[in-house]
Amino acid sequence: MKKYRQQRALFGYFILAYLVIVVVFSFFRYQSESQRLDGIIRDRLQNGAAMVKYVMPRGYFDRAVSRESIHQADYNSYTDLLSQAAWENNFHFLFALREKEGRFYYIAYSLSRKEQSDKRYAAYWKEYTEVQPDLIRAHKTRKAAFTKLTDSYGTYYTVFQPEYSPSGEFFITGADYDFQNMKASLNRIFAGAALQALTLLLLLFLIYFTLTRLQKHYVRRLQFSNAVNEASPIGVMSLQPDGRIDYVNQVFAGLVGVKLENLDDRSIHDDLGFNKDDELVNRIRICLLRQISWQGEFLNANPAGREYWVNANINYILPVQEGKAMINVYAADVTPQMRSRISLSQHNTALRFISRAIHILLANHELDNTLPEVMALYG
């Protein structure tokens, strides 16, 4: 009996020591995964902040300089566009702020589905009253600031991203993202691992192996979700710094005239059937080489020789903390809009010439003197 008690006590000490080891191991494992998750969250938030600049109309942030600069009806339509982008990419809130005389005002603002359904649009140039210290820091240092905010809607990770318009106007874009469910999932996974480890050592090894595989699966899915949305109406591509394509959608493949299966998990530097003069592909390669971002419109041609206008946004995202850089590309065929713009410019030019000719004819009633001048004006 005494020997049995000693064996039972020894077994109890072994279980206690084993439990301490498992708890310590689980704690450090949790800390490691939390740090990785924080890096992914930051990449996701920066992608959302960049999306605000891309979704709003061209030249919008050069115009949004005062309370009177944007009509409320136009602002409401822009709000619908930004809200749709937030819903499709699972962001809680997308916004842009501008500082004036020490106060911050909303110049872009997304709504929830219920707010949009009820037409509860925010007034343009609405003041941001609950100014966060991180917002002030981002405004002063011109560097992105990350924080965690709690309000009546819940707890969210937020970024305040300094930006400049093409003419040099300074503003702040931002995004809110809810990662509490992912945090809770990680807590449950590691708590389950610690409890299961109390029974058999072999079972613990199996659980650890399963959790490692799940962790890799979650990280890969989150990396993909930083830049892509399957239902996106625009071309989307996500690449690694070495040019390896992580994700590309059908719209992008259609733009460059290459089959989707020829692009997936390949390198942008390979000969994948692109037109050798494809400006979009060449600009992506340049941004990869120089580690820079680029945005603009240009005339492009696919392998079949069809010319079309492209509006492209190439974002080279450097992580603030540990992790790899990411390159996110958004591209859209804007040929109809560009043709309309060119046609409108030509009509305006013709109207200016006609107006000037009429002015000359009305100012001088001698046709012999004015007709040569009018003909010279028309060329």
pTM here? 0.44
Q: Is 101 left (phi over 0), alpha (psi -120 to 50) or beta?
A: left
Q: What integer pLDDT is reported at residue 248 of this predicted model?
A: 85
- Asked whether the predicted pLDDT for residue 249 surpasses 70, the reply is yes
Q: What integer pLDDT is reported at residue 62 of this predicted model?
A: 92
Q: What integer pLDDT is reported at residue 4 of this predicted model?
A: 42
Measure the CA dihedral 45/49/50/53, to 10°: 170
* Confidence band of 230 (pLDDT split at 50, 70, 90): low
Helix (H) or strand (E) segment spanning residue 241: none
Q: What integer pLDDT is reported at residue 3 of this predicted model?
A: 43
Q: What integer pLDDT is reported at residue 219 of this predicted model?
A: 52
Q: What is the mean pLDDT of residues 32-59?
A: 84
pLDDT greater at residue 301 or residue 378: 301
Write the pLDDT tens digit of every residue in 70-123.
999 999 999 999 999 999 888 889 999 999 998 999 999 999 999 999 999 999
Residue identified by tokens 């997936």 is 264
The two structure tokens encoding residue 28: 């450090």
* Confidence band of 252 (pLDDT split at 50, 70, 90): confident
User: Strand, coil or helix: what is 180?
Assistant: helix
Q: What is the mean pLDDT of residues 290-302?
A: 87
Q: What integer pLDDT is reported at residue 191 of this predicted model?
A: 65
Helices 180-196 and 201-225, axial angle in degrees (round to 10) = 170
Q: What integer pLDDT is reported at residue 159 of this predicted model?
A: 92
Q: What integer pLDDT is reported at residue 226 of this predicted model?
A: 45
Q: What integer pLDDT is reported at residue 2 of this predicted model?
A: 42
Q: What integer pLDDT is reported at residue 136 of this predicted model?
A: 92
Q: Between the ranges 10-14, 36-40, 194-198, 235-239, where is the mean pLDDT highest?
A: 235-239
How far is C-alpha 13 from the chain's CA centre? Answer: 53
The two structure tokens encoding residue 364: 């001088």
Helices 180-196 and 2-55, axial angle in degrees (round to 10) = 160
Q: Between the ranges 13-27, 97-111, 207-221, 264-278, where is the mean pLDDT highest?
A: 97-111
Helix (H) or strand (E) segment spanning residue 168: none
How far is C-alpha 378 from the chain's CA centre? Answer: 48
- Asked whether the predicted pLDDT for residue 205 surpasses 90, the reply is no
Q: What integer pLDDT is reported at residue 325 of this predicted model?
A: 79
- Strand bridging mode 170-177 / 93-100: antiparallel
